[in-house]
Structure formats: C-alpha cells, structure tokens
Amino acid sequence: VAAEEPLNLRPDEFRRLGHAVVDRLAEHLAGLDGLPPVAPLDPEWSAAAIPPCPDGPSDPDAALAFLFGEVLPRGQLGNHPRFFSRIPGPANPLSVLADLAGAGVNVFAGSWTGGAGVSALELAVLDWLRGWMGLPGSAEGVLVSGGSEGTLTALAAASQARVDDRRAATAYISEHTHAAVGRAWRVLGFEPAHLRVLRADPAHRLSVAAVEAALALDREAGLEPFCVVGTAGNTSTGAVDPLADLAVLCAREGLWFHVDGAYGGPARLTERGREALTGIERADSLVLDPHKWLFQPYEIGAVLLREPRLLERTFSLEGGVYLRDTGDGVVEFRDRSPLLTRGSRALKLWLSLQVFGLDAFRAAIAHGIALAEHAEALLRERGGWEVVSPATLAIVCFRRAGHDDEQTDAMVRATVADGYAAPSTTVLGDRTVARLCTINPRTTHADILGTIERLERFAGC
Ligand SMILES: Cc1ncc(COP(=O)(O)O)c(C=O)c1O
C-alpha cells in the first residue's frame, strides 16, 4: 500500500479494504447454515503455518485472503444456528459494527477526560443491566472481558469489603459452580482447601442445608466464612441455585452473596426467567456475560456491586503523577477494575439494544428457553432417550437409553464430526451425558429435529 504517511492508509484504500472486510463478513454470516458448526481439527496446522514477519510491505488483499481463508475458519462458529456446545456465542451483526466503530476511533474508556462519551454510555448500559437484574439504583458496575474476569473482579471487591484474615477466609460453592470461581479464589490468594465445594441436590442446585452444615463446622474450626456463591443458571444444566433462600441465609449469617449470572442472568428479562431467578436481586455482587445470552460478540462481561464505591475502594489507581491532568469526571472507570487503558465494550451492547429494541432481546431469550423444551419433548416422544436433566433455562441433558459413558462420548463426537450440528457433553452424577444449549435466536425447530436425528444415527440406531 503506497500510503503518504507512515503506517497509514489513504482514505480511499481504507474504504476499499473496509468494504472488502464487511463484504466477506456479510457472506460468512449469510452462509453460516451451510458450514459445519465446528471445523475439523487439522493436525498440520500450527504457528509454523504463519508466514514469518515481513520486513517490507505486502499485498493487503493477500493478507486478508489468508486471514479469511486460513485463520478464521479454523475453530468453532459460536454464531452457528446448530452450535449447541457449552455456551454458544450467538452474536448479532450490529454489535460487530459497534466494535469496529470503537476500534476505528480508538476510544478510551479509562477516564472521563479520555472518553466522556463512552464513559457515559457505559454508565447508562450498566444501569440498564442493573435495573433488569432488580438491583437498587445505588448499585454500581463495570464492563469487563467476560465471566472469568468478572468473577475475579467481584471476589476481589468482596474480599476487600469482608475479609480480615485471608488465610482463614472460607466460601461455599456447589460442584456445578463454574471453574472460574475456583480460579479466582486461588489467584486472589485464598487457601484452595477453604473453598468448600458442596454436593448439589438432585436438581443440580446448591443445597442451603449443605451450606448451613458446612458453615457451622467451619466456624467451630475457627475459620472465617465470608461468601456464598449462587449460580443463576449453571453451565452444565442451566439449573438455578435457590437464590432467595441463599440470600436469606447470607443476610442472617453476615455473609457476602455473590451470584454468577454469567450464563442465565439475562433470562430475568423474560417472565419465566424472572420467576426462575427470584433472589438474584438480593446479590451483593453479580456477574453477567452479555457475550452469551445478550447476543454480543466476545468480549463483554459485566460486574454489578450493591455497595456504592466498593469497586473504587478495591481498584482505585493511586499515585500516577502522569494521570494528574485527568480525573474529577463523573466516573473514572480506571478505578473500577484492574485496567487503565480500556476500549469501550458499552458501544456494542448499546447499539444493538438501541436499534433492535429490548423486546427483540426478550423474545430471543424466550425463544431459547422454548427451544430446549421443544428438544426435550422430541426426545421423550421419539423414545430410546433418557432425559437426565430436563430443559432448564435453554439447556437439556440426555443420554441414549442403555448407553455407557464411552458410547455417549462417541455419539457426540461423531455428531460433531459429521458437521451438521454441535452438541457437547458434561458429567452429571458421575455419568457422561449429552447436552444442547439452545440460546441462538436463529435456531429453528427443524434444526433441533435434524440434530436429534443425527444423534440417533450416530448412537447406532
Ligand atoms: C456460569 C458461568 N460462569 C462463568 C463463566 C466464565 O465466563 P467467560 O467464559 O466469559 O470467562 C461461564 C462460561 O461459560 C459460565 O457459564
């Protein structure tokens, strides 16, 4: 590219290449249905396939062709209507454009001086999230990269607020709590053995009685219980821990109530989800993941804290003399998470909500819940299937009657390799089960039927 300025593109060339990228993306998104949801692994592909860094310029069209032809197709397509694995990422295309706009301007959302516009937008969307989750108007938050960083951020704030002796600090989770909680616990310097992983009840929920029993033992042993983590939609089954009862327990015992709503939180936007998530509004800290069930491209998570100013007390960036020309704004987001320089994750959430409207999001979430119920009904109707965990917040777990773990793994592996649909597996009560997570608003009943037919074929029947 013959640019007049170093490391720049002429406006006409920027436009041409930009259009080429958008054209390719439009084609990709329109053609998703014809692609396998997970590309087969290519044993030949590794970093050695990336050409060495050139000293001089090279052809941008060739580089884009390499990117779109060789790099981007290798992996899973979380957007695909038949990608049902783990938690899909059914992103909407408007948010893609918002990410582009943010990168194009290179917005700075770390300080008010650096980005009053995007900081105000972030405050606004955080307040929308807060309201949808039923937290009080005084609650505050910050957008982060996802559920893992959100969990780390929330537990750092919780420990700032409540922990005296880190070595004695103790918390309670269930066997189905996401592994991000255990990682955050370790990284924050707590004793791994003091994270009590309690056996779930038969509906895969954290048992209040189990927390109470462990709490009594730990207090007797001189430990300092300080936190209970409730999950609003666990990753394996979609089951919601008894949030209201856990909130009562935490209030009574003076414990911090953290809720992991990374997966299921947005379901509160629907009538049925609101009922299922009763108690989420009593969280002291809450994590949401808009890159899951709010249809955003990676990476966007959100942390909400009931106690005002606690994020600042935990993350305030003190003493940087080079920052003295900024500050005194309405909010300094650099003081609410470990990041100083940060782009704007609010842009995409705002643009998609602004243009599609909240009702479209509500309907899309309700569609996902109904699809899993449809899948469960089909499995029951067709026979030969054992529904191990009924459809709950858009996840259904099942197994071919009479099959063992190995056969279940083989069935799911063969189905994914076939290229029509991508279910995944998990383990419930020591048994491997197949699962479908049906949160893509573009998934149809025909997609569900076709997937179950493939599973039956690869189950060997
Ligand atoms: C319930 C739950 N919590 C936390 C996470 C971690 O979120 P992330 O992958 O965005 O870091 C996930 C991811 O699937 C999840 O399902």
pLDDT of residue 239: 98
pLDDT for 31 beyond 60: yes
User: Quick count: other Cβ atoms within 10 Å of Cβ 67?
Assistant: 13
Pairing status of strand 431-437 against strand 385-392: unpaired
pLDDT for 1 beyond 80: no
HSE-CB at 48 with a 13 A cutoff on CA atoms is 3
Between the CA of 147 and the centroid of ligand 1 the distance, in Å, is 5
User: Quick one: what percent of the chain has pLDDT higher than 90?
Assistant: 97
pLDDT of residue 117: 98
pLDDT of residue 70: 97
pLDDT for 256 beyond 60: yes
Between the CA of 181 and the centroid of ligand 1 the distance, in Å, is 9
The answer to whether residues 328 and 174 touch, using CB atoms and an 8 Å cutoff, is no
Q: If DSSP codes are grouped into helix, strand and coil, which group holds residue 384?
A: coil
pLDDT for 22 beyond 70: yes
Ligand 1 surroundings by CB, under 6 angstroms: 87, 146-148, 178, 180, 231, 234-235, 260, 262-263, 289, 301
Rounded to whole angstroms, the Cα distance separating 179 from 406 reads: 24
Rounded to whole angstroms, the Cα distance separating 258 from 286 reads: 6
Dig out the tokens for 341 from the structure: 């320089």
Beta bridge partners of 396: 436
Give nearest CA residue, ligand 1 atom 8: 147
Give nearest CA residue, ligand 1 atom 6: 147
Between the CA of 92 and the centroid of ligand 1 the distance, in Å, is 19
Residues in the chain: 461
**What is the enclosing helix (H) or strand (E) of 161?**
helix 147-162
pLDDT for 461 beyond 70: no
Rounded to whole angstroms, the Cα distance separating 287 from 142 reads: 10
Q: How confident is the model at residue 326 (pLDDT cuts 50, 70, 90)?
A: confident
Q: What is the pLDDT of residues 192-202, one digit of tens each?
A: 999 999 999 99
Q: Tell me which residue of 285, 178, 301, 176 sits closest to 226, measured CA to CA.
A: 285
Give nearest CA residue, ligand 1 atom 7: 147
Q: Which residue has the tokens 């299922």?
A: 276
Between the CA of 149 and the centroid of ligand 1 the distance, in Å, is 9
Q: What is the pLDDT of residues 119-143, one digit of tens each?
A: 999 999 999 999 999 999 999 999 9
Q: What is the mean pLDDT of residues 269-283?
A: 98
Q: How confident is the model at residue 4 (pLDDT cuts 50, 70, 90)?
A: confident
pLDDT of residue 344: 98
pLDDT of residue 319: 84
Give nearest CA residue, ligand 1 atom 14: 87
pLDDT for 2 beyond 60: no
Between the CA of 177 and the centroid of ligand 1 the distance, in Å, is 10
pLDDT of residue 179: 98
User: Quick count: other Cβ atoms within 10 Å of Cβ 72?
Assistant: 14
**What is the enclosing helix (H) or strand (E) of 249?**
helix 243-253
pLDDT of residue 328: 83
The answer to whether residues 429 and 202 touch, using CB atoms and an 8 Å cutoff, is no
The answer to whether residues 379 and 423 touch, using CB atoms and an 8 Å cutoff, is no
pLDDT for 443 beyond 90: yes
pLDDT of residue 397: 98
pLDDT for 113 beyond 90: yes
